[in-house]
Amino acid sequence: MSRSLSGQVALVTGAAAGIGRATALAFAREGLKVVVSDVDVAGGEGTAARIRETGGEARFIRCDVTREAEVRALMEGVVAAYGRLDYAFNNAGIDIEKGKLADGSEAEFDAIMGVNVKGVWLCLKHEIPVMLAQGGGAIVNTASVAGLGGAPKMSIYAASKHAVIGLTKSVAVEYAKKNVRINAVCPAVIDTDMFRRAHEADPRKAQFAAAVHPIGRIGKVEEVAGAVLYLCSDAAGFTTGIALPVDGGATAI
């Protein structure tokens, strides 16, 4: 699997932290040149620096994925830097809801849909022409188990992640004969800084989060990165349009 990725170019959005950072590091370990992108400049520069410290090739390009001009400039920056784009991980996402649907605000709706849906749509729109021009590529979008079922008190987030899966399947079929494969990963609860901050204060919540996964624990960012690398690799050459749970069995029950 690793040899098929080595020397190629990968883009990761939302790569300043969490799943995106772990996946950028994993791409680099496999020998890829990595474009690290995020709105968080310090975090994104930090990811790129970590890759370079270990002998890898990376550069940071700031981009707010909700703004088409910035997404267009990001793709131009990738091509200017490395001449091509073989793999893209459209991972930037937010989750800011705290309550039931009737307590939500229009601002929350617009913010969540803006990053999670419009952001993925804009990235796909500007990545695909680059891949078509060079003869192919592979894209992975970050959905969630909240894109496969309901998520109480996270209804806008769940709607946004269902939309990511709808985009993924539709566009995968559109470009299936053009050697551009497009899939989604659907993580359950993953151990990120965000999760730790939310659960430090109440260990019972952390125990509950672990218990909803038949495996008996929450996931590791590296376990999502592994799924992304698999979907990008030639080992997944016959796989397009899927929404792959990375969920410790959570959606199996």
Catalytic positions are 157
Per rule CB under 6 A, count of chain residues that contact ligand NAD? 31
DSSP assignments along 4-61, one per residue: HHTT-EEEEESTTSHHHHHHHHHHHHTT-EEEEEES-HHHHHHHHHHHHHTT-EEEEE
Nearer Cβ to ligand NAD (154/172)? 154
Nearer Cβ to ligand NAD (103/193)? 193
**Which structure tokens are listed for 69?**
């001009």
β-partners of residue 90 are 141
Q: Strand 87-90 and strand 9-13: pairing?
A: parallel
* Residue 174: partners with Cβ closer than 8 Å, 6 or more residues away: none
Task: HSE, CB side, 13 Å, CA atoms: give it for residue 1.
Answer: 15
Report the first-to-last Cα separation within the chain, whole angstroms.
31
**Which structure tokens are listed for 149?**
């079922």
Nearer Cβ to ligand NAD (17/88)? 17
Residue from 8, 14, 85, 131 touching ligand NAD (CB under 6 A): that is: 14
* Residue 113: partners with Cβ closer than 8 Å, 6 or more residues away: 156, 159, 160, 163
Q: Write each residue from 71 to 110 as x if it is in contact with ligand NAD (CB under 6 A), else as -, in one continuous string.
A: --------------------xxxxx---------------
Cα torsion angle, 203, 149, 101, 166, sign: positive
Residue 61 in 3-state DSSP? strand
Q: Write each residue from 180 to 219 as x if it is in contact with ligand NAD (CB under 6 A), else as -, in one continuous string.
A: -------x-xx-xxxx------------------------
Residue from 43, 46, 77, 245 touching ligand NAD (CB under 6 A): that is: 43
- State phi, psi for 227 to the nearest 5 degrees: -65, -40
Q: Which stretch binds ligand NAD (CB under 6 A): 13-21, 28-36, 126-134, 237-245?
A: 13-21
Q: For residues 165 and 147, is the Cβ–Cβ distance under 8 A?
A: yes
Nearer Cβ to ligand NAD (31/114)? 114
Residue 39 is a binding residue for ligand NAD (CB under 6 A): yes
Q: Which of 46, 50, 61, 60 lies closest to 28 in space, CA to CA? A: 50
Which helix (H) or strand (E) is 209 found in, with range? helix 203-211
Residue 13 is a binding residue for ligand NAD (CB under 6 A): yes
Closest CB 142 distance from ligand NAD, rounded Å:
4
Q: Write each residue from 212 to 251 as x if it is in contact with ligand NAD (CB under 6 A), else as -, in one continuous string.
A: ----------------------------------------
Nearer Cβ to ligand NAD (195/230)? 195
Nearer Cβ to ligand NAD (132/212)? 212
Can you give the binding site for ligand NAD, defined by CB under 6 A?
13-14, 16-20, 38-40, 43, 63-66, 91-95, 115, 119, 142, 144, 187, 189-190, 192-195
